[in-house]
């Protein structure tokens, strides 16, 4: 365990996780300095809250303060080659992530969930399964409950469940979860990592320090990719897949089936669940595998999973208006996630006809948009593209489906709603991050939901000016 009392500690990044790290370090007796390269009203409010605690705060900086530190904690997704982080690394100060800071101080076993997509749903399913069996848990996510904010609770917990991303994992050194779950691997964050291999290597650090008596629950296709790159998984391994019938847990005609020794049986019919789609079948299989290694009774676990409802912005049905479904999948911030949403949406009334009005686009993460083309041709009537990546998406997709670059999300919603007919689906599944036009994917999803609700009000009141109603939805 790190000794923190009277140590000079630098925290880089003062978002939610950075503020939590500053506060925890202060409670632990460290002398804390927090810095951020940005200046915003939100950061100013955070700084005003931290300074009365005796924490030194500097915003809008590109270099750390000119003094010696015993430890530096990186709490934000800043690339390691940014001047601020590079300056710290050159100074030879030990640099750890906020995730590792928390785990070093944790007093219970940890279950870590990582992967390109499915982390949030899988972690939520695991927490629900444990809670249904009276296990005390906390679910930690960098965006909602950073590890540093829940450390003191761990002495009373059975398990700390961690939703870990590649940014947190890429600088971990001693991080070792008792159970590690890898939900999927697909290209993402190439604007940061440059190559898919570099991104995969960052996530693979999830397993780096596991021992032979720990557990690794891994999607079989992801495991194949790790082996191709000769990245070891030293723990006991259980595989799952919606596509590979040789996996330990697999999906067979809508039923989740186990071939694990002493557990060979059908487990769960997806029709009995609130979750839909092959990607959610995999999320359920991963959670079932965790429940198996933790020796939870299957009956109570299944009951908890049948009633699980995904959180907001995750293939969320917002409304059905005039037979048109409006679905908010704002959390789909990469191409693979958008593919899963396109496959999960309801089929057209006329077999084989496209029935989706897709709204996509946002901050360009350097992903390849071409591979999704055949699926667009099969499922999408028209794509409305917004944000920084809109023109590049149009270049990649216009050969497969009609595309329109819209000036805003509200314009895209209005046009899709105006043209959709009964049996169609208006789907927000951006395949990009939200940071070009919105605070985060939640903000983007909220704007979409408000716009849809305005359309519904207009229909009920007999209003015809949809654009007028949408103009107020963003405010």
Taking the C-alpha atoms of residue 95 and residue 211, their distance in angstroms, rounded to an integer, is: 24
3-state secondary structure 77-100: CCCCCCHHHHHHHHCCCCEEEHHH
Give the pLDDT confidence score for residue 60 in this predicted structure. 94
Q: Report the percentage of the chain scoring pLDDT > 70.
A: 96
Taking the C-alpha atoms of residue 399 and residue 403, their distance in angstroms, rounded to an integer, is: 9
pLDDT digits (tens, 9 = 90+) for 237-273: 999 999 999 999 999 999 999 999 999 999 999 999 9
Q: Label residue 45 exposed, middle or buried (CB < 10 Å: 0-12, 13-18, 19+).
A: exposed
- pLDDT of 363 strictly over 60: yes
Please state the rounded mean pLDDT for residues 363-381: 95
Q: Among residues 31, 38, 30, 32, which one has the least CA distance to residue 13?
A: 38
* Greatest Cα pair distance in the chain: 70
Taking the C-alpha atoms of residue 208 and residue 188, their distance in angstroms, rounded to an integer, is: 21
412, 431 Cβ separation under 8 angstroms: no
Taking the C-alpha atoms of residue 241 and residue 126, their distance in angstroms, rounded to an integer, is: 17
Q: Among residues 342, 336, 343, 368, which one has the least CA distance to residue 357?
A: 342
Please state the rounded mean pLDDT for residues 110-129: 97
Taking the C-alpha atoms of residue 278 and residue 296, their distance in angstroms, rounded to an integer, is: 24
Give the pLDDT confidence score for residue 460 in this predicted structure. 54
Give the pLDDT confidence score for residue 459 in this predicted structure. 60
Confidence bin at 177 (pLDDT 50/70/90): very high
- pLDDT of 150 strictly over 50: yes
Give the pLDDT confidence score for residue 463 in this predicted structure. 43
82, 37 Cβ separation under 8 angstroms: yes
Give the pLDDT confidence score for residue 85 in this predicted structure. 93
Please state the rounded mean pLDDT for residues 153-157: 96
Taking the C-alpha atoms of residue 163 and residue 140, their distance in angstroms, rounded to an integer, is: 6
Give the pLDDT confidence score for residue 267 in this predicted structure. 97
How many other C-beta atoms can be found within 10 angstroms of the C-beta atom of residue 141?
A: 20
Give the pLDDT confidence score for residue 76 in this predicted structure. 78
Please state the rounded mean pLDDT for residues 454-461: 71
Taking the C-alpha atoms of residue 90 and residue 30, their distance in angstroms, rounded to an integer, is: 23
Of the two residues 429 and 468, the one the predictor is more confident about is: 429
Q: 45 — phi, psi (to 5°)? A: -60, -45
Please state the rounded mean pLDDT for residues 343-370: 94
163, 120 Cβ separation under 8 angstroms: yes
Confidence bin at 310 (pLDDT 50/70/90): confident
Confidence bin at 469 (pLDDT 50/70/90): very low
Rounded to a whole number of angstroms, the CA Rg of the chain reads 23
- pLDDT of 465 strictly over 60: no
- pLDDT of 16 strictly over 50: yes
How many other C-beta atoms can be found within 10 angstroms of the C-beta atom of residue 76?
A: 22
- pLDDT of 127 strictly over 60: yes
- pLDDT of 475 strictly over 60: no
Q: Label residue 32 exposed, middle or buried (CB < 10 Å: 0-12, 13-18, 19+).
A: buried
Taking the C-alpha atoms of residue 85 and residue 393, their distance in angstroms, rounded to an integer, is: 32
Residues 6+ away with beta carbon under 8 Å from 175: 99, 100, 103, 112, 169, 205, 206, 208, 209
- pLDDT of 474 strictly over 70: no
237, 293 Cβ separation under 8 angstroms: no
- pLDDT of 471 strictly over 60: no
Confidence bin at 351 (pLDDT 50/70/90): confident
Give the pLDDT confidence score for residue 352 in this predicted structure. 86
Q: Report the percentage of the chain scoring pLDDT > 90.
A: 89
Tell me the average pLDDT of the chain.
Answer: 93
Taking the C-alpha atoms of residue 179 and residue 237, their distance in angstroms, rounded to an integer, is: 10
- Which H/E stretch holds residue 111? strand 109-114
Please state the rounded mean pLDDT for residues 382-401: 97
Please state the rounded mean pLDDT for residues 331-352: 93
- pLDDT of 431 strictly over 80: yes
Please state the rounded mean pLDDT for residues 156-160: 97
| Residue-wise DSSP of 206-272 | TSTT--TTSEEEEEHHHHHHHHHTT----SEEEEEESS-TTSSEEEETTEEEE-STT--EEEEEGGG
């Amino acid at each position: 365990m790190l000794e923190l009392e009277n140590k000079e500690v630098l925290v880089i990044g003062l978002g939610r996780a950075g503020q939590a790290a500053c506060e925890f370090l202060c409670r632990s007796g460290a002398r804390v300095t927090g810095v951020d390269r940005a200046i915003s009203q939100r950061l100013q409010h955070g700084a005003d809250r931290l300074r009365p605690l005796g924490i030194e705060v500097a915003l809008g900086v590109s270099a750390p303060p000119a003094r010696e530190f015993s430890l530096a904690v990186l709490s934000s997704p800043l690339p390691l080659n940014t001047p601020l982080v590079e300056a710290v690394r050159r100074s030879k100060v030990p640099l750890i992530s906020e995730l590792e800071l928390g785990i070093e101080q944790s007093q219970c076993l940890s279950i870590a969930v990582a992967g390109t997509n499915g982390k949030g749903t899988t972690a939520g399913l695991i927490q629900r399964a444990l809670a249904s069996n009276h296990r005390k848990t906390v679910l930690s996510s960098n965006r909602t409950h950073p590890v540093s904010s829940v450390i003191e609770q761990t002495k009373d917990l059975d398990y700390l469940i961690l939703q870990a991303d590649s940014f947190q994992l890429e600088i971990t050194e001693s991080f070792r979860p008792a159970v590690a779950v890898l939900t999927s691997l697909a290209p993402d964050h190439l604007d940061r990592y440059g190559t898919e291999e570099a991104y995969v290597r960052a996530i693979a650090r999830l397993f780096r320090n596991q021992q032979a008596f720990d557990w690794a629950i891994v999607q079989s296709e992801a495991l194949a990719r790790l082996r191709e790159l000769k990245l070891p998984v030293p723990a006991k391994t259980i595989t799952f897949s919606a596509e590979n019938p040789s996996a330990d847990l697999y999906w067979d005609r809508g039923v989740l089936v186990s071939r694990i020794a002493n557990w060979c049986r059908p487990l769960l019919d997806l029709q009995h669940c609130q979750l839909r789609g092959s990607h959610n079948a995999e999320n359920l299989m991963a959670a079932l595998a965790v429940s198996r290694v933790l020796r939870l009774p299957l009956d109570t676990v299944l009951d908890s999973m049948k009633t699980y409802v995904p959180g907001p912005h995750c293939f969320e049905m917002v409304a059905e208006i005039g037979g048109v479904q409006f679905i908010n999948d704002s959390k789909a911030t990469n191409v693979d996630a958008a593919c899963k949403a396109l496959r999960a949406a309801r089929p057209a009334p006329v077999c084989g006809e496209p029935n989706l009005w897709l709204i996509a686009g946002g901050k360009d993460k350097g992903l390849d948009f071409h591979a999704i083309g055949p699926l667009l041709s099969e499922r999408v009537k028209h794509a409305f593209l917004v944000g920084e990546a809109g023109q590049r998406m149009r270049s990649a997709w216009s050969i497969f489906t009609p595309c329109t670059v819209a000036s805003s999300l509200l314009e895209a919603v209005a046009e899709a709603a105006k043209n959709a007919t009964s049996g169609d689906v208006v789907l927000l599944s951006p395949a990009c991050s939200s940071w070009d036009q919105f605070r985060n994917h939640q903000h983007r999803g909220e704007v979409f939901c408000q716009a849809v609700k305005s359309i519904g009000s207009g229909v009920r009141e007999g209003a015809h000016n949809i654009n007028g109603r949408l103009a107020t939805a963003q405010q």
